Amino acid sequence: MSFIVEDSRTQLLQKSKKADNYVPSNQAKGKNRYERRLHSKVAKSVKQYNSMDMNKLFKDNILDVNVEVNGETDNYIVRMSFGGFLDYLHE
């Protein structure tokens, strides 16, 4: 069995705070990605996360989760797909 190994939240925040600054013309909203993070919003309601394809989950054992993001310049959907989800749930 293999699991995803990720950096911790603290490690990611430290990398983001120390990131290179953007070019001078874009600094009106912040110097780097950490400072500009406040200009994006991620979905907060349960309804926005409840767009799961249950047929795909139970027939193909794949969980797809869509997350709406209102970005600094555009709105988009981040899709995460987890294969073998029911096996992990069973364990």
Using the Cα atoms of residue 22, residue 39, residue 79 and residue 4 in order, give the sign of their dihedral: positive
pLDDT value, residue 60: 93
For residue 83, what are the domain limits?
Answer: 40-91
Question: What total of structural domains would you count in the chain?
Answer: 2
Reply yes or no on whether the pLDDT at 86 is more than 80. Answer: yes
Same domain, yes or no, for 14 and 46?
Answer: no
Q: Is the domain of 61 the same as that of 91?
A: yes
Q: Looking at residue 61, what is its pLDDT?
A: 93
> Distance between CA 5 and CA 9 in Å, rounded?
12
Q: Write down the pTM of the prediction.
A: 0.49
**Residue 24 domain-assigned (yes or no):** yes
Average pLDDT, rounded, for the chain = 79
19 neighbors 32 (Cβ within 8 angstroms) = yes
pLDDT at residue 27 above 60? no
| CB 64 within 8 Å of CB 52 | yes
